[in-house]
Amino acid sequence: MALLLTYLKCFLVGGLLCAIGQVLIDRTGLTPARILTAYVVAGVALGALGLYQPLVDFAGAGASIPLTGFGNTLAKGMRKAIAERGALGLFTGGFTAAAAGVCAAIVFGYLAALLFRSRDKG
């Protein structure tokens, strides 16, 4: 039962974040790229203020997988690097924290491009 509750919390929070993005696409003149950028910036801001981590603790992957979670990862990496290296950590912390995820995205994207052929939709 506890596992089902974990899945439910993950689905609801992740779904809410996606629904907010869809509403912004449908109801505003914002482009998807601007909305995605706003999600990353919101994650950085909420992570820097310490407000995003309780959501990650509550919803797990439902909060850490969307782009707001990527922004939170950048903020956590910067905070940690600043504590360890001082002002230099401001420039290196985000890259260090997000390096594994970005590398995985590149590698799996490349593998998908090798395995599947793109076709015209028409």
Please spell the DSSP secondary structure of 29-78, one letter per residue.
Answer: S--HHHHHHHHHHHHHHHHHTT-SHHHHHHHTHHHHSSHHHHHHHHHHHH
pTM across the whole model: 0.79
Q: What is the pLDDT along the chain (122 residues), one digit of tens a residue?
A: 889 999 999 999 999 999 999 999 999 989 999 999 999 999 999 998 989 999 999 999 999 988 999 999 999 999 999 999 998 888 899 889 999 989 999 999 999 999 998 778 77
